[in-house]
Amino acid sequence: MLHVRAFVDSASADGIAEALLATGGVRGLARSTPEDAEDGVVLDGDVSPAVADEVVAILDEHFEPDSYLLTRHDVVTPTSARADLLGGRGGFAWVEVAAEARTYTHTPAGYLALMGAAGAIAAIGVIEASAIPIVGAMAISPDLLPICAVCVALVGGRVRMATGALLTLIAGLSLASLVAGALTVVLVLLGILPSDFRLREEDLEPLIDIDYTTVAIALSAGVAGMIAFSTRASAAIGVAISVTTIPASSFLGVAFARGEVREGLEALLVLTTNVVLLLVSGAATLFVLRRTGKRRALRPDGTVEPG
């Protein structure tokens, strides 16, 4: 359930309230007068996620973006039998998904730190041909977030946002590769790895070969990742995305550090293919969610069911 709160002048209150109610998805709209306000009232009401975009458009006509609040409240009482499983308990709200995605149109320091750590851990797995460190690296990698941000921007037709999120993704994956390569060099210099160390390709073949499993996994991961992102459950699905990115990124860094250029280029091809497939399936999933979200919230009589 979403909740809107806006401070409006008394002369505009009636018109704004009527416009909000006309969306068919605003319930319990109440007015109150703050004690410290000379002229104006506060409008409070519950908003169905299906009409969140309309509500924001109405408020944007009268206010600056930071002069009203649209928040989400977790509902703990029994929900409607028509609640949409894919949309989550509160339903799908495009404006909320877009706001979350904007965080990754630049490159947060915490994101880079986690990607670097993931690259180092995965490098150990690549060097030792062990799945355990690679799985651990996938668990901490946050690359799901910029991938989903690119999908949101593509569906929303926001070129600048898509460019920023894509650069964030590239920066993170590049850092993971660089850290993996640097760690390999350090281990050789310290004598932990022999100077003639070579990757055991037969144990790591899925990281450098493209076949039908590569396509199937990447497409499925994109669907799962986008659904998780739009329902605020991304922490549980992050590994599904990272299985297609972090292992190949680290293999790329280790291979180039050891001068195995052919193997490194093969890993780069796998990584690029996976990212493209993730974006295609993720954007397609979000497009479907956006188009059907409002339709699911409609009652048979055409009114909006509360989210």
104 and 60 in one domain? no
Distance from first CA to last CA of the chain, Å, rounded?
5
- Residue 304 falls inside a structural domain: no
- Residue 222 falls inside a structural domain: yes
- Residue 285 falls inside a structural domain: yes
pLDDT, position 298: 46
106 and 40 in one domain? no
Q: What is the pLDDT of residues 229-258, one digit of tens each?
A: 776 655 555 566 777 889 999 999 999 999
Record the pTM.
Answer: 0.73
- Residue 169 falls inside a structural domain: yes
68 and 216 in one domain? no
- Residue 305 falls inside a structural domain: no
Residue 159 tokens read as 């070129």
pLDDT, position 213: 86
Cα atoms in the 13 Å half-sphere on the side-chain side of 166: 15
211 and 65 in one domain? no
Instruction: Domain count for the chain, please give it.
Output: 2
265 and 159 in one domain? yes
- Please list the ranges in the chain whose pLDDT falls under 70: 35-39, 63-67, 72-96, 99-100, 201-203, 206-207, 231-240, 293-307
Q: What is the pLDDT of residues 85-138, one digit of tens each?
A: 444 444 556 666 776 677 777 778 889 999 999 999 999 999 998 888 988 888
| Domain termination residue (choose one: 11, 40, 73) | 73
- Residue 243 falls inside a structural domain: yes
- Residue 64 falls inside a structural domain: yes
- Which backbone phi and psi does 169 adopt, to 5 degrees? -60, -45
- Residue 299 falls inside a structural domain: no
183 and 140 in one domain? yes
238 and 141 in one domain? yes
251 and 181 in one domain? yes
256 and 129 in one domain? yes
| Domain termination residue (choose one: 23, 39, 73) | 73
| Contact present, 234 and 228 (Cβ < 8 Å) | yes
DSSP structural state of residue 107? -
Q: Residue 264 to residues 3, 233, 275, 276: CA-CA distances in angstroms?
A: 50, 33, 17, 18
289 and 215 in one domain? yes
247 and 284 in one domain? yes
CATH of the domain at 63: 3.30.70.260
Residue 45 belongs to domain spanning: 2-73
Write the DSSP string, 180-239. Answer: HHHHHHHHHHTTSS-TT----GGGSGGGT---HHHHHHHHHHHHHHHHHHHTT-HHHHHH
pLDDT, position 77: 54
Q: Residue 242 to residues 121, 142, 227: CA-CA distances in angstroms?
A: 13, 8, 16
239 and 135 in one domain? yes
